Amino acid sequence: MTSVTYDVIIIGGGPAGLTAAIYASREKLKTLVLEKVLLGGTPINTDFIENYPGFPEGIQGKELVDRFKLQAQRFGAQSLEFKEATDVEQGDGIFRVRTDSDDYIGRAVIIATGSVPKKLNIPGEQEFTGKGVSYCATCDGPLFKGKKVAVIGGGDAAVEEGLYLTRFASKVTLIHRRHQLRAAKLLQERLEKNEEMELILNYIPVSINGDDRVTSLTIKDKDTNEEKEINVSGVFVYVGVKPSSQFVKELVKLNERGYIIADEKMQTSVPGIFVAGDICSGSIQQVACAARDGVIAALSVRSYLSD
């Protein structure tokens, strides 16, 4: 256990956590950010962000969160990467955040752990993860240059990443389980104009097939139950996310889907523990909204510690 007591420990280094770090450290609070992988969160793997205020031409996801990180560091926030919180214990006016290697003590905690991709849970998915099955087009897209790939999903992320994949793949087939996509109209218009993209609606994936790597995807018509096989070398999955809240499920109140319940000040059911970003009940999972939550959580911590 480290001997330092922080004013606030922020668990999660995505847009919500980094924004909270900017505001908390600017308020002269001794601030520590713990991130289980690399600082930046989901936007690191997002090719291009067009709807974050202040960037009319858009900005690369990694560049945006790098700016968040530099700003937090400028005001004195400390950060540690590859430190995954495994438990939070409440003590006498303090909180002990446990990781796999060290414990950290804070007077307040902000949980900004976000969410992780949902799985299809079909045969072949686990077997071929990293061998053709991916949840990150920005990470793995260049590996499929000149090959055919499938994207599963119908929301903004699925269409955005499908469009990105056309830079590399010879053909991108987008498969959605409903008769209509959920993605924004602008994205749908881009999809329709892109000759490298094919859209298959009202089908669900049944199995991912291959030998050493993915060679095909079996899908089924939801109305007729007719199955067909599509020859692809890669399957990119974008069917939603689930909250990363397991490590505090016995400590703070969660809703039925596992998201942390908080009030308008981002205060959870435990005084001194706040929440921000996609992990929060009611989040609409946008970078701008995550930043807003981070601001509120940090200023609420200031008020909590003052009281």
Predicted pLDDT of residue 2: 67
Average per-residue pLDDT for the chain: 94
The residue that leads in pLDDT, 18 or 101, is: 18
Q: How far apart are CA 290 and CA 276, in angstroms?
A: 6
Burial of 122 (0-12, 13-18, 19+ CB in 10 A): middle
Which entry of 47, 140, 278, 293 is annotated as an active-site residue? 140
Average pLDDT of 1-21? Answer: 92
Which entry of 87, 100, 102, 139 is annotated as an active-site residue? 139
103-111 and 273-275: which strand pairing? parallel
Closest by Cα among 270, 276, 271 to 293: 276
Cα 71 from chain centroid? 21
Domain with CATH 3.50.50.60 in the chain: 5-116+241-306, 133-237
- What is 2-20 written as a DSSP string? -S-EEEEEEE--SHHHHHH
Predicted pLDDT of residue 1: 63
Check pLDDT > 80 for residue 47: no
Q: How far apart are CA 19 and CA 103, in angstroms?
A: 23
Q: Round the CA-based radius of gyration of the chain to a whole number and report it.
A: 21
Our CA angle for 239, 43, 138, nearest 5°, is 70
Predicted pLDDT of residue 51: 86
Check pLDDT > 90 for residue 252: yes
CATH class of 5-116+241-306: alpha beta
**Residue 103: active-site member:** no
Predicted pLDDT of residue 49: 85
Predicted pLDDT of residue 167: 95
Band of the pLDDT at 73, cuts 50, 70, 90? Answer: very high
Predicted pLDDT of residue 183: 93
**Residue 136: active-site member:** yes
144-157 pLDDT, tens digit per residue, is: 999 999 999 999 99
Q: How far apart are CA 288 and CA 172, in angstroms?
A: 29
Cβ atoms 119, 237 nearer than 8 A = yes
**Residue 156: active-site member:** no
Q: How far apart are CA 304 and CA 110, in angstroms?
A: 12
CATH class of 133-237: alpha beta
Model pTM score: 0.81
87-132 pLDDT, tens digit per residue, is: 999 998 899 999 988 999 999 999 999 988 899 999 999 999 989 9
201-240 pLDDT, tens digit per residue, is: 999 999 999 999 999 999 999 999 999 999 999 999 999 8
Q: Which residues contact 260 (CB under 8 A, 6 or more apart)?
A: 111, 243, 245, 248, 252, 253, 254, 268, 275, 279, 280, 281
- What is the chain written as a DSSP string? --S-EEEEEEE--SHHHHHHHHHHHHTT--EEEEESS-TT-GGGG-S-B--STT-TT-B-HHHHHHHHHHHHHHTT-EEEES--EEEEEE-SS-EEEEESS-EEEEEEEEE---EEEPP---TTTTTTBTTTEES-HHHHGGGGTT-EEEEE--SHHHHHHHHHHTTT-SEEEEEESSSS--S-HHHHHHHHH-TTEEEEESEEEEEEEESSSEEEEEEEETTT--EEEEE-SEEEE-S-EEE--GGGTTTS-B-TTSPBP--TT-B-SSTTEEE-GGGBTT----HHHHHHHHHHHHHHHHHHHH-
Check pLDDT > 90 for residue 43: no
